[in-house]
Amino acid sequence: MFRDIAETAKFLRLLDGPRFMIEVDCAELSSDEKLALASEISDRLEGKALALVKQDSIVLDQLTDERLDVEVLRPIVVDFISRRKDAAHYSFDVHGQKIVVHSADPIAALRNKAERTLPGNLMQCPFCWFVTQYEGELALHMKSHQNLAL
């Protein structure tokens, strides 16, 4: 199956999963701000890791064996915040391997987030604005997107 010991060791490291996890909690930021911060982090890490938006957080997908620490992200987050037009109202805290970014207007951010969520009985197509309460209807609709791509 594996040609040599080095290849086997590399495979086993992949099975172990991440040895550590750095997370940037951006629940108070807008979607645009989350994407901008993730882009900034990816650019500044120069191929060491890729920053991905996952719900209300940014997580790092490590691309090298070099260990990243929260101290590497701190200056990137500080620089990002300092370039906001109302930078004095933004802040962040560090809790272990987690950075929590606070918005200039957290109440507005939470209000916008609440407005964008659907009630529990509704489902939305991930490709367009189609909304339904029936799982079968959503599955049929999503198949139409696949047919359009062909």
Please check whether residues 134 and 73 belong to one and the same domain: no
| Ramachandran angles phi, psi of 53, nearest 5° | -80, 125
Q: Which domain holds residue 123?
A: 118-150
pLDDT of residue 24: 93
pLDDT of residue 135: 86
Please check whether residues 59 and 128 belong to one and the same domain: no
**Are the C-beta atoms of residues 123 and 131 closer than 8 Å to each other?**
yes
Using a cut of 0.85, tell me whether the model's pTM lies above it. no
Please check whether residues 24 and 59 belong to one and the same domain: yes
Q: Which two tokens stand for residue 68?
A: 């990243």
Please check whether residues 113 and 123 belong to one and the same domain: no
Please check whether residues 99 and 32 belong to one and the same domain: yes
Please check whether residues 66 and 85 belong to one and the same domain: yes
pLDDT of residue 39: 92
CA atoms of 131 and 134, how far apart (whole Å): 9
Complete DSSP assignment for 7-70: HHHHHHHHHH--S---EEE-TTS-HHHHHHHHHHHHHHHTTSEEEEEETTEEEEEE-SSSPP-H
CATH of the domain at 58: 3.30.1360.210
Please choose, from the candidates 34, 87, 92, 86, the residue with its C-alpha nearest in 3D space to the C-alpha of residue 58. Answer: 34
Residue pLDDT, tens place only, 47-100:
888 888 887 889 888 888 888 888 999 999 999 999 988 888 888 999 888 999
Please check whether residues 93 and 128 belong to one and the same domain: no
Q: How many domains does the chain have?
A: 2
Q: Which DSSP symbol is given to 83?
A: T
Q: Which two tokens stand for residue 47?
A: 């191929």
What strands lie across the sheet with 57-62, from one edge to the other?
49-54, 57-62, 23-25, 98-102, 91-95
Which helix (H) or strand (E) segment holds residue 142: the answer is helix 135-149
